[in-house]
Amino acid sequence: MKAAAGLLLAWVALTAAGALGACPEPPAAGDPLADLTPAELEQFTLGREVFERVFTDSSGLGPIFNAESCLECHEDPRPGGNGDENETHATLMHPDATCDLLTALGGPVFQAHATPALTRATGLESEPIPDEANVRAVRTAPDLFGFGLLNAIPERDILRRADPDDRDHDGISGRANRFPDGRVGRFGRKALLPELDGFNAGALVIEMGVTNPDFPVEETIGGKPIPKGVDPTPEPELDAESLARLNDFVRFLAPPPPLKLTHEGERGRLLFGAIGCESCHTPAFVTSVNKVRALDRRVVRPYSDLLLHDMGAERGDICLGLASASEFRTEPLMGLRLASRFLHDGAASTIQEAIELHAGEAAKSRERFRRLAPHEQAALLEFLRSL
């Protein structure tokens, strides 16, 4: 009787709290994580200002670059979201399938634009791709929502999902990529970068030519030094405080909450697991102990194992780290409904088209999807459009 009364009182309390507005709406795309302190919220706001800052050649841009601000590539539907830009990667693939990133010639990322000063000095309007390159790759700009939570997932939990030798014989053999120092990668389409701060700082210099305390040296231009007088801003072009605030903004971006599932959407969620999609698109992890309350032992639902999987030769392009040409990190699906292009190269314009382009380790799941009845396919797609 006492237990029943206790449950009734708890239900009344929860109902009253909801009526009084004590249960806030979950953060939307572009919002900060819930449970940030006032100081952390201020860091987030200051960091967004750095994220939105438009650089010029007199304030550190270039002399070669892909974008003039972080926002240019991560803007839809709000700062931190997707972008409509493509960037070009190029490498040299040797006959033995080993890969030369052509770093001595400016690779593997070749920037699409040049500052007016560089154009006047050299005639270049973009970074030249060397003749040695025999493989090119297109990369779209993904959203950054929830990346702080991905950063907080314990390395051991990522490795626990790996099965490089397919010992369970299910045809899925995900494996970790590793940074040169041995740390497990999790960021980037090939999962090379192990932590978020390095991902951000590297993007500043690679995508915008903006040097910073972590990357204080300008890249070459096709392997050649920068001509005198075309890069007037002293290094580092972004100071340590601004870099820290930028890192705070990206770290504290909340993942978009999934939409409430209908009956059909719930059926689609079950089908997603039944046809094997969860073998790579792991629904949930729990973050590790963290001094930031909003990141401390929180459930994150990336629908990704953050491991490399073979997507088939037709999807392959460049090697990177331990990743072969056809291996890519399982793309996180949180915020999927906000995207308008899909896969690492934007080759698919719909979610169903993206499923159809899965091959390699995903071929069995793709075939199971094809064998579903039309109403079952529709239910699964409804689930995916809720993420």
Q: Give pLDDT tens digits for 244-258.
A: 999 999 999 999 999
Question: Residue 293: its pLDDT value, please?
Answer: 97
The count of domains in the chain is: 1
| Beta bridge pairs of residue 100 | 92
The rounded distance, in Å, linking the Cα atoms of 174 and 155 is 15
Domain for residue 14, yes or no? no
Question: Residue 97: its pLDDT value, please?
Answer: 85
Token pair 């995900």: residue:
174
Place 234 in a pLDDT band, splitting at 50, 70 and 90.
Answer: very high
Amino acid (1-letter code) at residue 233: T
Mean pLDDT, all residues of the chain = 92
Q: 274 and 75 in contact (C-beta within 8 Å)?
A: no
Residue 86 DSSP class? E
pTM higher than the cut 0.85: yes
Q: Hey, what are 89's tokens? A: 């990667």
Q: How long is the chain?
A: 387
Average pLDDT on 29-45 reads 96
Place 9 in a pLDDT band, splitting at 50, 70 and 90.
Answer: very low
Question: Residue 15: its pLDDT value, please?
Answer: 31
Residue 102 DSSP class? -
Token pair 């994150």: residue:
300
The rounded distance, in Å, linking the Cα atoms of 270 and 379 is 10
Residues 152-206: tens digit of each pLDDT: 999 999 999 999 998 988 889 999 999 999 999 999 999 999 999 999 999 999 9
Q: Hey, what are 353's tokens? A: 């088209």
Average pLDDT on 128-153 reads 96
Average pLDDT on 340-361 reads 96
309 pLDDT higher than 60: yes
Place 27 in a pLDDT band, splitting at 50, 70 and 90.
Answer: confident
Q: 122 and 220 in contact (C-beta within 8 Å)?
A: no
Domain for residue 28, yes or no? no
CB count in 10 Å sphere of residue 135: 18
Residues 47-105: tens digit of each pLDDT: 999 999 999 999 999 999 999 999 999 999 999 999 999 999 999 999 988 899 999 99
Closest C-alpha among 27, 14, 47 to residue 241: 47
Domain for residue 17, yes or no? no
29 pLDDT higher than 60: yes
Distances (CA, A) of 66 to 141, 203, 249: 11, 10, 21
Q: Hey, what are 154's tokens? A: 């314990």
Question: Residue 204: its pLDDT value, please?
Answer: 98
Domain for residue 33, yes or no? no
Domain for residue 44, yes or no? yes
Query: Which residue range is the domain that position 122 belongs to?
Result: 38-384
Q: Hey, what are 25's tokens? A: 């709406």
Assign 202 to helix, strand or coil: helix
Domain for residue 18, yes or no? no
Assign 382 to helix, strand or coil: helix
18 pLDDT higher than 70: no
Give percent of the chain above pLDDT 70. Answer: 94
Q: Hey, what are 368's tokens? A: 């199971």
Place 5 in a pLDDT band, splitting at 50, 70 and 90.
Answer: very low
Residues 282-299: tens digit of each pLDDT: 999 999 999 999 999 999
Domain for residue 82, yes or no? yes
Domain for residue 298, yes or no? yes
Q: Hey, what are 289's tokens? A: 């102990």
Question: Residue 24: its pLDDT value, please?
Answer: 61
Average pLDDT on 215-227 reads 95
